[in-house]
């Protein structure tokens, strides 16, 4: 497989980040600021309400769900905003009066699911715009690692034994039938699953202090290794590379997000550096199926979610 030239990709990635911050209607007594964070004149940003934040892209890359968890004197609760890409409009807001588990947008982002315990049952739930939850199907009470809604159902990975990091990947179709895709295997730190549920990446540490990535597709397993410990981010849109972020670049308040593209065909890493204003907390971070990077601005408690564009890989 021929390796592409990435210099043009990096140039377009940096040059195409458009100025702007899109306002939304306030839903709190004290609305969030609609101005971009300090130093953010070269980024697309959408204001959020803060809270402990998680990001989850729809499988087609058209929208991202922003889960925000809060605490009050009466207990914990969650808010979710679904933001459309590339318009950066808030297409739907969910305001349940209870705490949600990890959220999973539908394939096109038009619906929202979540995993957790509700009404005494653990499983995947469909969340309505009014905040009501409807059970889709039960699931084991395990620690979720990642989930994605494909056209055929929900594919997710969870730790069957968190102490040993033993992980299993399963699929639940829309009739609630569940099957195991990847049997339990230890130790796995992270997983990534593509929007069709056909590509799965398992990340684990090596004995020499590096990071190993096993790529499962079509019954075949391809293993690639980074010499340093790293955080799995995903795969390139053409599925030719595993994308990771070195742990040395995981500081919440650096000046850039450094992403490494590790080719399944072998060879040295290509590196994409996404500049961010000094002092900005680039966490959490999520990469869409089309290569758009989204990240929070306050080290996990996002007052804004910001986006870089275009795709990391334009094609080969």
Provide the pLDDT confidence category of residue 253 given band limits of 50, 70 and 90.
low
The span from the CA of 204 to the CA of 166, in Å, is 11
φ, ψ for residue 174, nearest 5 deg:
-75, 0
Q: How many percent of the chain have pLDDT more than 70?
A: 79
At 2-38, the pLDDT tens digits run 333 333 333 333 233 222 333 333 333 233 333 444 4
Structural contact between residues 106 and 92, judged by C-beta atoms closer than 8 angstroms = no
Instruction: Specify the 3-state DSSP secondary structure of 308.
Output: strand
Q: Please give the structure tokens belonging to residue 297.
A: 């601005």
Q: Which long-range contacts does 181-188 make (Cβ < 8 Å, 24+ apart)?
A: 181/155, 182/157, 182/216, 184/160, 186/161, 188/145, 188/157
Q: Which residue has tokens 């499962």?
A: 216
Structural contact between residues 36 and 22, judged by C-beta atoms closer than 8 angstroms = no
At the top level of CATH, which class does the domain 7-23+42-308 belong to? mainly beta
pLDDT at 42: 43
pLDDT at 52: 86
Q: Edge-to-edge, what's the strand order for the sheet holding 293-296?
A: 20-21, 44-47, 304-308, 293-296, 285-287
**How many residues can be counted in the chain?**
316
At 198-233, the pLDDT tens digits run 999 999 999 999 999 999 999 999 999 999 999 999
Lowest mean pLDDT segment, chosen from 58-72, 181-195, 261-275 = 261-275
Region for residue 58 given its phi and psi (left: phi exceeds 0; alpha: psi -120 to 50; beta: otherwise): beta
CB burial class (10 A; 0-12, 13-18, 19+) of residue 315? exposed
Of 97-106, 254-263, 266-275, 287-296, where does the model show the most confidence?
A: 97-106
Q: Which residue has tokens 């990947």?
A: 169
Query: What is the mean pLDDT of the segment spanning 121-143?
Result: 94
CA torsion, points 262, 258, 60, 108, in degrees to nearest 10?
150
pLDDT at 74: 84
φ, ψ for residue 161, nearest 5 deg:
-145, 100
The span from the CA of 170 to the CA of 288, in Å, is 21
Chain centroid to CA 201? 14
At 38-52, the pLDDT tens digits run 444 345 888 888 888
pLDDT at 207: 92
Provide the pLDDT confidence category of residue 116 given band limits of 50, 70 and 90.
very high
215 - beta bridge partners?
201, 222
pLDDT at 101: 92
CA geometry: angle 278, 10, 276, nearest 5 deg: 10
The span from the CA of 78 to the CA of 20, in Å, is 27
């Amino acid at each position: 497989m021929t390796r592409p030239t990435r210099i043009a990709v990096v140039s377009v990635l940096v040059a195409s980040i458009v100025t702007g911050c899109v306002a939304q209607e306030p839903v709190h007594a004290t609305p969030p600021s609609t101005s971009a964070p300090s130093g953010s004149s070269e980024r697309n940003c959408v204001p959020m309400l803060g809270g402990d934040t998680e990001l989850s892209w729809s499988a087609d890359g058209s929208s991202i769900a922003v889960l925000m968890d809060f605490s009050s004197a009466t207990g914990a609760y969650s808010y979710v905003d679904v933001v459309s890409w590339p318009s950066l409009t808030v297409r739907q807001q969910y305001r349940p009066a209870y705490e949600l588990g990890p959220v999973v947008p539908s394939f096109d982002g038009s619906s929202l699911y979540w995993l957790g315990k509700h009404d005494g049952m653990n499983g995947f739930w469909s969340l309505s715009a009014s905040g009501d939850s409807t059970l889709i199907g039960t699931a084991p009470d395990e620690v979720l690692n990642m989930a994605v809604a494909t056209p055929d159902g929900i594919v997710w990975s969870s730790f069957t034994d968190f102490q040993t990091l033993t992980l299993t990947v399963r699929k639940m179709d829309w009739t609630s039938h569940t099957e195991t895709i990847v049997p339990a295997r230890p130790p796995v730190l992270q997983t990534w699953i593509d929007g069709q549920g056909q590509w799965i990446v398992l990340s684990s540490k090596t004995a020499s202090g590096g990071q190993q990535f096993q790529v499962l597709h079509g019954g075949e397993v391809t293993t690639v290794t980074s010499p340093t410990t790293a955080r799995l981010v995903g795969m390139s849109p053409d599925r030719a590379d595993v994308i990771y972020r070195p742990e040395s670049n995981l500081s919440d308040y650096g000046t850039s997000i450094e992403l490494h593209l590790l080719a399944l065909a072998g060879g040295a890493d290509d590196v994409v550096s996404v500049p961010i204003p000094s002092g900005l907390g680039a966490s959490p971070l999520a990469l869409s199926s089309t290569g758009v990077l989204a990240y929070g601005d306050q080290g996990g408690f996002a007052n804004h979610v910001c986006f870089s564009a275009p795709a990391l890989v334009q094609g080969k």
